[in-house]
Amino acid sequence: MATIDAIPRRDVLAIARAFLVEAYEGAWPEGSWFVSPCPDAGVLGTLAGVSAQEASRPARPGGPTIAAHAEHLRWYLALVNATLEGAPWQPDWSASWSLETVDESAWEALQAALRREFEALRSRLEGDLDVRDPLQLRGILALAPHSAYHLGAIRQLALRSEA
């Protein structure tokens, strides 16, 4: 049996990319590891089915909204993209939760910005990315579970909006 040390870094990054794609785009033709096996089951498809009004409604007073989760994901992907471009890792997590409500045009713009950050990161992971820093590799591997967590939270908030 192969050990983790024997797995080439490019293969580890390919697995990370596949999970990231599943989190944002949904199941692939071969199936799914963690999202529902239906069209648009990822973050982007789920958000597309939510109105700005629904995205701005918290489940409880003071709780996060779908828009807040979407902005947090966009912010996080932008941070990772910047880090892969050489910027220092200096997250200000409270800033990532600064958005709570959106109108229709802001909601469309946020979804487009999230898609751009996802596609930029996906493109980087498809390229010849040479990740040698263990902290950076850990961050890349954390992208899919982090995104899956927020996808679940978004889906729960969307269900409450429908009720």
CATH number at residue 155: 1.20.120
> From CA 23, how far away is CA 31, in angstroms rounded?
13
| Structure-token pair, residue 15 | 């697995």
| Mean pLDDT confidence for 3-24 | 83
> From CA 76, how far away is CA 79, in angstroms rounded?
5
- Position 3 scores a pLDDT of 59
**153 located within any domain:** yes
- Number of separate domains in the chain: 1
> From CA 21, how far away is CA 118, in angstroms rounded?
8
What's the pLDDT tens digit per position in 115-139? Answer: 999 999 999 998 877 777 788 888 8
**138 located within any domain:** yes
**152 located within any domain:** yes
> From CA 146, how far away is CA 142, in angstroms rounded?
6
**3 located within any domain:** no
Domain extent, residue 125, equals 8-162
Task: Find the range with the poorest average confidence among 25-29, 63-67, 82-86.
Answer: 25-29
**16 located within any domain:** yes
What's the pLDDT tens digit per position in 40-61? Answer: 889 999 999 999 999 999 988 9
